[in-house]
Structures are given as structure tokens and as C-alpha cells.
Amino acid sequence: MSIDNEPNVAQSDGSQNTLLDMRNIHIEGFSDEQWHPIIKGVDLALERGQIMGLIGESGAGKSTLGLAAMGFVRAGCRFTQGEVNFDGTDLLKLKDAQKRTLWGTRIAYVAQSAAAAFNPAHRLIDQTIESASRSQLRPDAESRRDAVGLFESLHLPDPANIGQRYPHQVSGGQLQRVMTAMAMSARPDLIIFDEPTTALDVTTQVEVLASMREIVEQHNAAAIYITHDLAVVAQMADIIKVLRFGEEVEQSETRTMLSSPKQAYTRSLWSVRSLEKPEEKGEDIVLSMQNIHAAYGRVQVLHGVTINLPRGKTVAIVGESGSGKSTAARVITGLLPPGKGDVLFNGEALPADLKDRKPEHLRQIQMIYQMADTAMNPRQTVEQIIGRPIELYHDISGAKKAERIAELLNMIELDESFLDRLPAELSGGQKQRICIARALAANPDVIICDEVTSALDQIVQEGILKLLLRLQQEFGISYLFITHDIATVKAISDEIVVMYQGEVVEQGLKSEILNPPHPEYTELLLSSVPEMDPDWLTELLGSRTN
């Protein structure tokens, strides 16, 4: 495979420019009492100072391949073929003790969840300099000073003292930056970033991305950046490799990959974000929250929230974690009776508590969850799952029920061969469809969708969103769509509600909210959503400093 010459390749040791050369990697994993292939013959070559983006959907094997670059596999996995040449040495031929002298010092790893990857018992500074200290690179006191310098260039608050803290004493975004400093401490030649910003909110993600990119460039390290988020990888990588089912789909320079992907699969990944529904204004309000105040115990979560949902339309509630958007859903469904305020359904106040609501109320408002896995009883078949609401709300059984179940399965584009399957025998998208069918079985007026696509791969997301739009057109269902993803909002909503810290920042038609002028928070939120433009981050940072 050929790699285009990169403009910013490090000019080091003359002829030998290749830092990492992985050839014909095969990795297997043990599950269900058998070995299954995870990586099926992938090559990967990286030059000094180069950043490669490794993208793919869940199960593509990108994390496994990233760790393989260190000559490491997790428990229950094994290399069956291939070589991992790092700076001329095949890591797979080395003993563990020899590999350990490279890990942390010449190859470093940045994990997805910083909160879990830091040892709770040690101070951040001690963990930061651990590898440098072990390799006796320099005196510890010097490493400490250097770490403070790294903290500073990563824009951590109070860089001189933050290292004295323990992991649970700093925020997730800060921890992720400390982990980058930790990886950087021994000045490695290669850093593996394993989805380092996936767990962060968008507004935090921007800052972390910027400081990571800056420091990697500053020290001219090579990196492998693993993510499922195309827009993020576009900001970070010089070249992009697309993986699917443990095999390489294609690889090219970032701009080329974004503008003209060769493979149909890559194009399909790119095209997802083009789905957009024309907005419509609705006057007839089916569901409305009136000045809702709600609390968990003593913690006040919602402060006077008012949201209106027009009949047959989609209102998207957007916000970051802690904004109170899911709490709003719990208030509507009666799981969390509000301290103050009313939920009106067709203009009539619903009883605050679930227990006091009539079956008819319950039938009319249905809910679909983020994790279809946990939303279905793993011990019930598809037939039982969809059949129960039909039985309960419409008192239909026997042949008529079977008929109705078949009809519902058709609506969600599945067939009767799924009837006796258990949830574990379905793919992620199929599970979510069954959940949609369960909601439809009640013939509801309103469906609350709580992050229904966030856990799914891009293509599957699109399929689900299209299905939801079609069902809305056919049956006039109104959706309250809770999400943190702006692309999803663009795809499905008529109106948008922006929430921040338990309050509504603004509500209006999609065109009004997405186009300027914005309130300050909306501006921050919208501008933080990465775009599929390699210059986006640079431009954003430029505009923010001005």
C-alpha cells in the first residue's frame, strides 16, 4: 500500500522514515467457547509525526487494531498472524518484559474513559510521570516540572497544583487532558488515542480536541486516533483508514477521503448527514409542559420549564448532560411528579403521578429508549414483547392479535420470521425497531424518543430516522425527540427546544433556532458541533480567540 507524502512529516533520521509498519495482522477473540476472527489481515503503516485516523462502526475492530499497534491484545484475544514492526523491531517477537520498556515511554496509550483509567489511590502528578520515572529518563523532579509545563500547554486550570489532586477531584474533560499529558510525559514517538472524547459533551470535546492536537503537533509525535465520529477525525488526522468487520475498506489522505471516497461503504457513511426534513409549523398543541419545577430529592433539576408539542409534529429537545432533558421526559410520563406545574394532554391536565393515570392516558403517551438492549426483557420473544400492549390496551387476543403483530412487524420493515426470536438474537437496529413496534402497538398520539439513535451505527441511525418520519406521515404521531446530536435534530425536527441547566434557553421553529442570531449558549453549543471540514476546528478556535 502506498501512502501519500505528507507535508508535515517529521524530518528525522534521514532515509528510515517509517515508524510503525504492521503487516497482515490477524487477531482472534474467544467467545461462545470458540475462537472468532476480529481482525482479518490488516496492514497499517505510519511515518514519524503522522496522525492516522482509524474509523469504523462498532465491531469493526478499530480498538483491537489500535492496541495491536503496541503489540498488545486484551484478555481473551490472541494474535494468529502478522508482524508489528515498531522502529524496526517486531513487537510480536519480543518478550513481555522487553515490550514493557517501550510501553509508556516510546508508545503511549490514551484510553476512552479517563475516570476509570486513572488509579483512584494516587495523585495525578505521580501517575503522569510514572512511565518517565520508571525508565529513568530524567530525574523525577524534572519530570514533575515538565508535567506542569504539559498541564499548562493543555490549558488545564492551575497547572502548578492540579497534579496534587486525586482523579475523583477533577472533571472528566480535565482528566482526559491530564491523560494526554501522561501519555506525553516520556515524549513517546507514537500515541494511541482510543476514542478519547466519546464520553464528553460537545462543548467540552472542542477544548480537549484542540489541546490534544496542539500538543501532538508541538512535540511532533505520531498518533493513531481511533473514533467512530467522522467529523472529529477530520480535525485530527492527516490520513484516514476506514475499517469494517475487521478488514480495511480504504485509506487515503484526509481531504481526499472527505471529498471523494472511493468505496460505496465509505460514501454511505458520509451521506448519512444529508437527511433533512422540511419543517412545518403546527398550531394544535397535543402535549404541553406548563412551568414545570422538578427535583430529585433536594436537588432541583427543572426550573420552570415550558414546552409545547404540536400535533403530528416533532419537537427536538437539545442539551448536554445535566441539562434536564431526560428529566423532562420523566415528568411527562409521570415517573417523576413535578413539584410545581402541569402536564397538559389535549388541553387537559394529567395526574402528576403515574399511579393515578388511567390506562387510556398511559396508552396515548409511549416511550422509546436509548438502549434498546435494556428496554426489552431478554427472556421474552419478539411476539411477547409486541403482543403485550395489544392485549393490555385493546383486549385483543388469539388470531386477531397474531394478525396485528404481523401488521406491526411489516410497518417496521421486518417479517414474521422474527416472531420467536429473543432480543439477543437481533442486531442493534432490529432491536430498536422492535421497541418502535411495541410503542406503535398501543396506537399512541405521542411518542417520547429518548436518544433513540445515539447508541446505533450511522447507517442504522438513518434507517431508524426514516422509519420514524414515515410513521409520522402515515399515522400523524407527534414526537418529543430528546437528543444531544445536532445532526439528528436537523434530520427529524420541526421545532427545537434548547435546554441548559434545567431551563429552556429557547424554543422555536428549526430554521429560527439554527440560524443566527442565537442566545449565547445556543451559539456555543451549535458552534461546538464538529463539521466534516478539516479546517473547521482551526477556524473555530481562530474565531473564538477574536
| Contact positions with another protein (CB under 8 A) in 140-179 | 165-166, 168-169
How many angstroms separate the CA atoms of 101 and 98, rounded? Answer: 5
Identify the residue among 424, 475, 511, 519 touching another protein (CB under 8 A).
Answer: 424
Out of 79, 86, 109, 151, point to the residue binding another protein (CB under 8 A).
109
Question: Nearest distance from residue 414's CB to another protein, in Å?
Answer: 5
Find the Cα–Cα–Cα–Cα dihedral 96, 97, 100, 105, rounded to 10°: -140
Asked if residue 471 binds another protein (CB under 8 A), the reply is no
Report, in Å, the least distance between residue 324 CB and another protein.
18
Q: Restricting to residues 369-388, which ones interact with another protein according to CB under 8 A?
A: 369, 371, 374-380, 388
Q: What is the DSSP letter of 5?
A: P
Widest distance between CA atoms in the chain = 79
**DSSP readout, 505-539?**
EEEEEHHHHHSS---HHHHHHHHHS--S-TTHHHH
Judging by beta carbons within 10 Å of its beta carbon (0-12, 13-18, 19+), is residue 104 exposed, middle or buried? buried
214 neighbors 146 (Cβ within 8 angstroms): no
A 10 A CB-CB count for 285 gives 16
Contact status, residue 537 vs residue 210, Cβ threshold 8 Å: yes
- Least distance from another protein to the Cβ atom of residue 76, Å: 4
Terminal C-alpha separation, the chain: 43
Asked if 118 is part of the footprint of another protein (rule: CB under 8 A), the reply reads yes
Compute the distance between CA of residue 42 and CA of residue 249 in angstroms, rounded to an integer: 10
Show the cell assigned to 490.
Answer: 436537523
SS3 470: helix
* Among the listed residues 1, 5, 121, 474, the single contact to another protein using CB under 8 A: 121
Which one among 13, 32, 348, 395 touches another protein, defined by CB under 8 A?
A: 32
467: cell is 422509519
By CB under 8 A, the residues from 68 to 87 that bind another protein are 70, 72, 74-77
When asked if residue 425 is in the footprint of another protein (CB under 8 A), the reply is yes
Stretch of 7-15, 81-89, 430-438, 479-487 lying at the interface with another protein (CB under 8 A): 430-438
CB of 134 vs another protein, minimal distance in Å: 6
Q: Choose, by CB under 8 A, the member of 10, 137, 295, 362 that binds another protein.
A: 362
For residue 218, what are the contacts with CB-CB under 8 A and spacing of at least 6? 153
CA gap 40, 57 in Å, rounded = 16
Minimum CB distance to another protein smaller for 16 or for 101: 101
Give the C-alpha separation, 142 to 148, whole Å: 10
Which of these segments, 46-54, 115-123, 212-220, 498-506, binds another protein (CB under 8 A)?
A: 115-123
By the rule CB under 8 A, 396 interacts with another protein = no
By beta-carbon proximity to another protein, the closer residue of 166 and 536 is 166
Contacts of 479 (CB under 8 A, 6+ apart): 313, 314, 315, 446, 447, 448, 449, 468, 472, 492
Q: Which stretch binds another protein (CB under 8 A): 12-20, 287-295, 428-436, 537-545?
A: 428-436
Q: How far is the CB of 403 from another protein (least distance, A)?
A: 20
Of the candidate spans 48-56, 213-221, 317-325, 362-370, the one that interacts with another protein by CB under 8 A turns out to be 362-370
Q: Does residue 353 interact with another protein by CB under 8 A? A: no
Please state the closest distance from residue 176 (CB atom) to another protein, in A. Answer: 13
Q: Which of 256, 260, 268, 321 binds another protein (CB under 8 A)?
A: 268
User: Which 206-265 residues touch another protein, going by CB under 8 A?
Assistant: 244-245, 247, 249, 263-265
Contact region with another protein (CB under 8 A), list: 84-92, 102-110, 203-211, 218-226:
102-110
Minimum CB distance to another protein smaller for 431 or for 510 = 431
